[in-house]
Structure formats: C-alpha cells, structure tokens
Structure 1
C-alpha cells in the first residue's frame, strides 16, 4: 500500500505537525481513499503488511502515540535524511 496525499485538520493546512494530520489517502488497498490517521495506526498495529509513503526513498509508516494526557494515535514515516517527515511532504487536500 502507498500513502499518496494527506488532509490536515481544519485550520492547519500549512502545519508541519504530524498530530494535525486528519486523514491519509491510501492506494493499492481494498478501497483507495482517505482514512483517518487513527484507523491507519490500528491497521499497522494489527496487520503484518506495511504502508509506504509515495516519495523517494519510500519510507514505511510507523504507528505512534502522543504523550499523555491525550495519547493520540498517529503515524509517521521511518526516519531518513530529510529534515521534515516525508508524510508531511505529500500533496495536501
């Protein structure tokens, strides 16, 4: 599966904060479309299949949880030499 674009939360269109991603567009899955970030998190935790960001070097998504008190589920891409997470470099809708 590939993550090809993101939708940010209302009012956060230019943010570079992973927690402000609302949903992620996934392709090459049962049904292409936008999926809420917590659903992508759940899929990654329960499945043995990976999701790659559709930007070179195609890093895998990693499930994460924000610190207390919220413990918000989100995803990020595996680290590489870029200064910003590759997920945040995807086109935005």
Structure 2
C-alpha cells in the first residue's frame, strides 16, 4: 500500500508537525481513501512495512506514540537522506 496524500487537523494546514496530521490517503487497499492516523498506526503495528510513502525512495511508515500525558498514536516515515519527514512532503487536502 502507498500513502499518497495527507489531511491535516483543522487550522493546521501548513504545519510540519506529524502529530497534526488528521488522516492519510491510502491506495492499494480494498477501499482506497483517507484513514485516520490512529487506524494506520494500528495497522502498521500488526503489519510492519505494510505501507510506504509515495515519494522516492518510498520509505516505510512506522507506528509511533507521543509522550505522556496524551500518548497520541501517529505515524512517520523511516529516516533517509531528506531533512524532513517524507510523509509531510505529500500533497495536502
């Protein structure tokens, strides 16, 4: 599966904070569309390496959890030579 675009939380359209992603558009699924980041997190926990960012070199998404007190589920891409997270470089809706 590939992550092809992201939707940020309201009022966070230009943010570069992974925690402010609301949902991620996935293709290659039985039902392509936007999925909440917590749903993607839970999928990746059970299926490591199952989703890649649709930007070369197509890094895998990884499940993450923010520190206390919120313990918010989110995802990020595996690090590579880029300075920012590839997930945040996807088109936004």
**Alignment TM class, shorter chain as reference:** over 0.9
What's the TM-score once normalised by structure 2's chain length?
0.97
Aligned length: 93
| CA distance in structure 2 between the partners assigned to 1:48 and 1:15 by the alignment | 27
Indicate the residue corresponding to 1:86 in structure 2.
86
Structure 1 stretches of 4+ moved >4 Å: none
| CA distance in structure 2 between the partners assigned to 1:28 and 1:16 by the alignment | 26
| CA distance in structure 2 between the partners assigned to 1:49 and 1:30 by the alignment | 18
Q: What stretches of structure 2 of length at least 5 have no aligned partner?
A: none
Indicate the residue corresponding to 2:29 in structure 1.
29
* Aligned alpha-carbon RMSD (Å): 0.9
| CA distance in structure 1 between the partners assigned to 2:52 and 2:77 by the alignment | 8
Q: What stretches of structure 1 of length at least 5 have no aligned partner?
A: none
What's the TM-score once normalised by structure 1's chain length?
0.97
